[in-house]
A and B are shown apart, each in its own frame.
Chain A
Amino acid sequence: TQLLEQSPQFLSIQEGENLTVYCNSSSVFSSLQWYRQEPGEGPVLLVTVVTGGEVKKLKRLTFQFGDARKDSSLHITAAQPGDTGLYLCAGDEGGGADGLTFGKGTHLIIQP
Chain B
Amino acid sequence: DVKVTQSSRYLVKRTGEKVFLECVQDMDHENMFWYRQDPGLGLRLIYFSYDVKMKEKGDIPEGYSVSREKKERFSLILESASTNQTSMYLCASRTGFWQPQHFGDGTRLSIL
Contact = CB atoms under 8 A, between A and B. Distances in A.
A30 B97 CA distance: 11
A97 B56 contact: yes
Interface stretch (B11-19, B63-71, B72-80, B99-107): B99-107
Contact of B42 (A40, A41, A103): A103
A102 interface: yes
A31 B90 contact: no
Interface residues of B, number: 28
B105 A41 contact: yes
A97 B42 contact: no
A42 B41 contact: no
A7 B64 CA distance: 31
A96 B33 contact: no
Given A31-B98, A45-B101, A104 B40 contact: yes
User: For the complex, would chain A's binding face be called helix, strand, loop or mixed by DSSP majority?
Assistant: loop
Interface residues of A, number: 27
Contacts, number: 65
A92 B101 CA distance: 10
A100 interface: yes
B97 A97 contact: yes
A42 B98 contact: no
A21 B53 CA distance: 39
Interface string A39-72: 0111111001010000000000000000000000
A82 interface: no
A82 to B, nearest CB: 19
B107 to A, nearest CB: 10
A92 B98 contact: yes
Interface of A: 1, 30-31, 33, 35, 40-45, 48, 50, 88, 90, 92, 94-100, 102-105
